[in-house]
Amino acid sequence: MPYIKKIEVKGFKSFGPQTVKVTLDRGFTTITGPNGSGKTNIVDAVLFALGELSTRRLRAENAAKLIFHGSEKAELEKAKMAKVIIQFDN
């Protein structure tokens, strides 16, 4: 059965300018972490890459809110674009 092997996210929602790579194993996978750490944004990134266009379903006010808006605290600039890549394996 096909499964998502890797997710690469850059500039999408809470993911800043550096590419974040998440590798998943075959079978059951859980995503854990403290509140506000981006767990749901990983799921939103998958939905976005699979073609979800409803900003409501992606929990954003509008499409511009899907792009990382920068962080003064972490001294990160606003992203110019968002990119999500999903790699499948069977």
**pLDDT tens, position by position, 43-80:** 999 999 999 999 999 999 999 999 999 988 888 999 99
Residue 89's SS3 state is: strand
pTM (predicted TM-score): 0.88
**pLDDT tens, position by position, 12-37:** 999 999 999 999 999 998 999 999 99
What is the domain partition of the chain in residue ranges? 3-89
Does domain 3-89 fall into CATH 3.40.50.300? yes
Helices (H), the chain: 39-49
Distance CA 65, CA 27 (A): 32
